Homo-oligomer: A and B are copies of this chain.
Amino acid sequence: MRDVLPRECEIRDYLLERILQSYRRWGFERLETPALERIEVLSGSKGGENEKLIFRVMKRGEKLTEARTPDEMVDSGLRYDLTVPLSRFVAENAAVLPLPFKALQVGPVWRAERPQKGRYRQFTQCDVDVIGLEAPYAEAELISATADCLRSIGLGAFTVKVNDRRLLWALCAKGGYAEGEVPQVLIALDKHDKVGLPGVVTELEVLGADRAATFGRLLEGATQAGRGAGEFDRAFALGLGAEVTDPLDELVARLDAPGEGWRVRFDPTLVRGMGYYTGMVFEVEHPAYGYALAGGGRYDEMIGRFLGRPLLACGFSIGFERLVLALSESREAVLPAVRRLAVLAGSLQESLQAQAWARSFRAQGCVVNVLPRRAKRVGKQAGDLRAAGFEVFSVEGDQVVTLDDPSRPGDARD
């Protein structure tokens, strides 16, 4: 984990504000669930690897004393995503929640991973979810709203890749894999972006070279078809029924304003890691970044685990930390320019004058720092403030005057 310094906080707050405003205009409503969830909620939610990465919190008082093993000593854990807590929330409030419910969540999640460059054990996720709406309405809404949000941040052209888990399952079945082998095939396929088609085939050879080759050929056909046609019903020569390809077609037709800075593309190799997806999956790809900026899909079975009956659900998660990284590079272009003023005052009388001056500039939206003047080292004090981005002023007599920068030619003072 790490401390986030003021410079980055500024970008994060700006980004958060834009995201909230953008999604709220689409009717999404923010909710916040607590950082800690009961350990039973977090475990066994098809969170895959993430469930092994839970920070576990110890019971307190008598309950701790009575526990025998480490597992018995734990009663809660830090959430590792925002989807599991949302599902728990929806199940608890199903009786009173108006459907469809369009949820917006932004908050930290925790995973006890080995820290890597740019990846930390605490990071912020930003999720939108539509509960209680069938395909492809929810999908179209999530993709359209997210595209609008990303465009409002000024991210430049991007592509939304879409696929359907059921197409992947059909592909596996055509390739001769049994249901129990599917997860392993999907893990191999998920690496397609990095290792390409030959890499996936090599990885699959542990399940048999023949089937690996067949699967490779099927995949190649599907990929090429997709690349050429750009439409879903013609894209996928697997003999699938219209129940999967029609909604994909309709999804594309229903998207709001693709073409204005973004486009949609069918990608039969798109997997998305989570085990809980049941239908369409999607991902935002940007030419400037080697990673997905957002990803999501339909998970119609997750809430049922808590509720006891199925409830339609579909979500899209923006990689907030990745967007922060992306925006940090174009910081000056993105953040609104704000004047930063510092004014140095000595006596009480001067301080009051500085305050009145500061007040008028703050009312105009400037940042103003009133500081006691360090009489014996004003030069250093002013230099440090300039280095921190301030224009430096000083109260002299009944005037507030610029404290000129001695390093700039023509300036004599100080």
Q: Report A's interface with B, CB cutoff 8 A.
A: 1-6, 9-10, 12-13, 17, 20, 24-27, 29-36, 55-58, 60, 64, 70, 73-74, 76, 78, 89, 92-93, 98, 100, 102, 108, 110, 112, 121-122, 133, 137, 141, 144, 250, 253-254, 256-257, 340, 342, 348, 351-352, 355, 358-359, 362, 365-372, 384, 387-388
Contact = CB atoms under 8 A, between A and B. Distances in A.
Contact of A6 (B31, B133, B351): B31
Nearest to A5: B31
Contacts of A20: 13
Nearest to A348: B253
Identify whether the interface residues of A are mostly helix, strand, loop, or mixed.
Answer: mixed
A58 B98 CA distance: 39
A307 to B, nearest CB: 15
Given A34-B121, A256-B355, A256-B359, 7 more contacts: A3-B93, A4-B33, A25-B367, A36-B55, A36-B110, A55-B57, A141-B370
Contacts of A144: 355
A368 B348 CA distance: 54
Contacts of A100: 371
A57 B121 CA distance: 14
List 6 A-B pairs, minimum CB-CB distance, nearest first: A27-B369, A6-B29, A1-B34, A9-B30, A4-B32, A25-B362
Nearest to A363: B25
Contact of A58 (B17, B70, B102, B388): B70
A108 B56 contact: no
As for how many copies of this chain the complex holds, the number is 2
A31 B55 contact: no
A3 B33 contact: yes
18 contacts: A1-B35, A2-B34, A25-B368, A26-B368, A27-B367, A34-B122, A35-B110, A36-B55, A36-B110, A36-B121, A55-B58, A57-B58, A58-B74, A70-B73, A98-B388, A133-B372, A254-B348, A256-B359
Contacts of A387: 98
A35 B108 contact: yes
Nearest to A22: B362
A240 to B, nearest CB: 22
A4 B141 CA distance: 24
A216 to B, nearest CB: 37
Contacts of A56: 57-58
A94 to B, nearest CB: 13
A1 B256 CA distance: 39
Contacts of A9: 29-32
Contacts of A121: 34, 36
Nearest to A372: B137
A102 B369 contact: yes
Contacts of A24: 367
A375 B257 CA distance: 26
A275 B26 CA distance: 48
A10 B30 contact: yes
A366 B30 contact: no
Contacts of A362: 25-26
A25 B57 contact: no
A86 B384 CA distance: 22
A36 B348 contact: no
Contact of A98 (B102, B366, B384): B384
Nearest to A6: B29
Contacts of A93: 3
Contacts of A98: 384, 387-388
Contacts of A1: 34-36
A73 B64 CA distance: 12
A12 to B, nearest CB: 8
Contact of A30 (B6, B30, B74): B6
Contacts of A17: 17
